[in-house]
Amino acid sequence: MLSFVWLSATALSTGSMRAPVGARHAAVVATGTIPEIATVPDGVLSRNTLGRPLVEQRSRPRRNRKSDAVRRMVRETVLSPSNFVYPLFIHDQPDNAQIPSMPGCERHSLESMVAEAKDSWKYGVRSFIVFPKVEDELKSNRGEEAYNPDGIVPRAVRMLKEALPESIVFTDIALDPYSSMGHDGIVEDGKILNDDTIEQLCKQALCHARAGSDCVAPSDMMDGRVGAIRDALDAEGFTDVSILAYTAKYASAYYGPFRDALDSHPGFGDKKTYQQDPANGREAYIEAELDEAEGADILLVKPGLPYLDVVHRLRQSTNLPVAAYHVSGEYSMLKAAAERGWLHERKGA
């Protein structure tokens, strides 16, 4: 294991480290003398025809890094705008509203949402997912507004598909934006009801499919919801509507800014009884096997950067597409560090 240790001037002058290093440098500067340079033992390096040192190594990985053009040619992972799904935060208001904890992001009116999607389309973005901030008076413990055909999400989907017919529109399947409790499921006696919640999620998925959603994305983490949603969609003829399963969604502090955007913080407790424990990597295999067997088309890991090991594990264990979610907290950390000059924003991104 490699570790880096900061050493103070005091540490350098004590213990087994050679104390006179600084003194010798000072002496060299003062006298203008140069210490004798050690020679490389014979046989370590040979010489090329120009008389320059030559390490006799035929394979040199640096040749594939020697210029930007070469690096681009041999790059293993190549991303384009068409690989990204653009999250659009929306609300049922005529004007946009800034999201303070997510600098540069805002809740869009439906008209502004369409304009933003059209502008992104010019740069090659083809996929969008909408996340609603629902008015408090429309929220309830059972989240009935989630499957209102005239609700904000079905209207947003219809508007996006009308404006950009070739776009891929994802919709979030979960009750937390619509819940008076701020949880992803129905609450009873302080517990989240798994199967009762799934019934509501199936209604929500069907509502979105009828509006034109191309892919529903259940983020709730209820057991068995992918299979139930798949069966509900197929029974109504929506066999072409895809499911992006939040396969490995870990309980994370990085979701804070997102919950600010949707006003969906839990009313009590936390979400650790249904979101995964960050200490459990192998558990992702269980979730992935279940989701794949239940008919998921894409598997998602969330958050992305802290769980790249899980992304790698799933990539090695499934032939389905694997997606990673760059979450609000990751975004906000990058923005905050860039604003303070601690890193270069574009290079960091």
Contact 108, 96 (CB under 8 A): yes
Rg, Å, the chain Cα set: 27
For residue 303, say if its preceding peptide bond is cis, omega within 30 degrees of 0: yes
State the Cα–Cα distance between residues 164 and 116, nearest whole angstrom. Answer: 12
Q: What torsion do the CA atoms of 160, 162, 164, 170 make, to the nearest 10 degrees?
A: 40
- From 249, 271, 272, 335, active-site residue: 249
SS3 323: strand
Contact 135, 146 (CB under 8 A): no
SS3 16: coil
Structure tokens at 232: 């509900």
Using CA atoms, how far residue 67 sits from 72, 74, 162, in Å, is: 9, 11, 45
249 is catalytic: yes
Question: Which residues partner with 270 through β-bridges?
Answer: none
Contact 325, 302 (CB under 8 A): yes
66 is catalytic: no
Give kind and range of the element (H or E) at residue 204.
Answer: helix 194-211
First to last CA, the chain: 28
CA atoms within 13 A on the CB side of 7: 11
- From 133, 139, 271, 302, active-site residue: 302
Active site members: 249, 302
